Amino acid sequence: MQELTVITITAASIGLFHTLLGPDHYLPFIVMAQARKWSLVKTTWITVLCGTGHVMSSVILGIIGIALGISINKLGAIESFRGGLAAWLLIAFGAGYFVWGLCRARKSRPHIHWHAHGDTSMPIHKHTHSKEHLHAHKGEREKNLTPWILFTIFVFGPCEALIPLLMYPAAKSNIFGLVLAVGVFGSVTIMTMLGIVILLSFGAKLLPMGRLEQYTHALAGATICLCGIAILFLGL
């Protein structure tokens, strides 16, 4: 019981601080929810889906490593490689989304046209082309790949702190302790991600965007790109 208590407290603590200290665990969801006007329900399931993929990828890797007798140092090297790959994916996705957001903002800027009428009058019409060519067709829906891109990136993202947690109970053939460590770590990680995302998403909606409203997509892309840079070069 004493060992299980230590495992539980350790897994919960590491899961909490691992998430809090990694802005990539919540900032991408906050800015994308703001830019793409996701509902609370959609933001929640996307966050939970990505968090689950994030945790389970390391769990599967750890279990394979334990089964094959791979040392913790080698598993750590694999996790480090995955971390670098996930960072580059965040940078690429963020940069691409930033450019797309700038193009979209430019198209949505209001501008003036002169229109000639039959009575020789030349009235001025001010409008945008942000919705140009976007028509609703019956039975057709736009396929949104953004959540699945985020999910793929998070699957590559490692939980380095989880590997040592798996090794300790595994070394003692404590299957229950192994399951407990994974369950507590995963639950705390996902719930912390979800709590921060929901709280800061509500706060972001209260910010007066004003003229920056048309640049929300570009700002979201820039934020995600900076998260990747912070992971890659600052080790966050």
Q: What is the pLDDT of residues 69-114, one digit of tens each?
A: 777 778 878 888 888 888 999 999 999 999 988 888 787 655 454 5
Any domain includes 145: no
In this predicted model, what pLDDT tens digit does every residue of 169-224 receive, in sequence order? 766 667 787 888 888 999 999 999 999 999 998 887 777 766 767 788 888 999 99
- The whole-angstrom separation of Cα 128 and Cα 44 is 33
Q: Dig out the tokens for 123 from the structure.
A: 């009235």
Could you give the number of structural domains in the chain? 1
| 142 alpha carbon, distance to own chain's centre | 21
pLDDT at 229: 92
Q: Return the amino acid letter for 123.
A: P
Any domain includes 149: no
Any domain includes 74: yes
Residue 224's domain comprises 2-107+158-234
pLDDT at 123: 55
- The whole-angstrom separation of Cα 32 and Cα 27 is 8
Query: Mean pLDDT, to the nearest integer, of 15-19?
Result: 90
Any domain includes 139: no
- The whole-angstrom separation of Cα 188 and Cα 12 is 6
Any domain includes 84: yes
Tell which residue, 59, 83, 51, 232, has the closest CA to residue 157: 83
Q: Calculate helix-pair angle for 162-171, 175-205, nearest 10 degrees.
A: 160
Any domain includes 28: yes
Any domain includes 133: no
pLDDT at 199: 92
In this predicted model, what pLDDT tens digit does every residue of 23-61 receive, in sequence order? 889 999 999 998 888 989 999 999 999 999 999 988 888
* Strand residues in 128-226 grouped as ranges (E): none
Query: Mean pLDDT, to the nearest integer, of 129-150?
Result: 56
- Percent of the chain, pLDDT > 90? 25
Q: Return the amino acid letter for 46.
A: I
Buried b (16+ CB within 10 A) or exposed e, 201-228: beeeeeeeeeeeebbbbbbbbbbbbbbb
Cβ atoms 182, 1 nearer than 8 A: no
pLDDT at 171: 62
Any domain includes 54: yes
